[in-house]
Amino acid sequence: MIKAMNITSYTQYEQHKQNQDEFKQLMPLLSQLSAKEQRDLVHMLDSESVDGKFLSELCSNNLEEQLAKISEEENYAVKNAYRHYNKTTKFAEAKK
C-alpha cells in the first residue's frame, strides 16, 4: 500500500505545478465575476482560511491520502484480529 502511494504521490514541485494548472483553469471563471463578487470572494477566502489553507485545500488531494491511511490502518487491524484469533483464542479452553 505504501509503495503504491509512493508511486502515485507527487513531489512538492510536481504538486505545485499541478496546483498551478488547476488554478489556471479557474482563472476564466474568476475573470467573469463582477467587482462586488470579487470583493465578496476575497473576503470569504480571508475569513474562512488561515494562511490560505482554503485555497490549498481546493487544489490538493489530501482527502485521498487520508482515506488511504485510514484504509491501511483498518486492514492492519483486521489482519491482527484474525491473527489473534488463530494464535490465542483457538487454543483457549472451551469450558471457560
Q: Dihedral, CA atoms, 15, 19, 25, 29, nearest 10 degrees?
A: 160
Tell me what pLDDT residue 60 has. Answer: 66
Instruction: Burial-class residue 9 by CB neighbours within 10 Å (0-12, 13-18, 19+).
Output: middle
Q: Are 10 and 18 in contact (CB under 8 A)?
A: yes
Cα 94 to its chain centre, rounded Å, is 46
Kindly report, residue by residue over 51-86, the tens digit of the pLDDT: 656 666 666 667 777 778 888 888 888 888 887 777
Q: Are 55 and 45 in contact (CB under 8 A)?
A: yes
Check: pTM over 0.85? Answer yes or no: no
| Residue % of the chain over a pLDDT of 90 | 0
Is pLDDT at 3 greater than 70 in this prediction?
Answer: no
- For residue 93 the three cell numbers come to 479452553
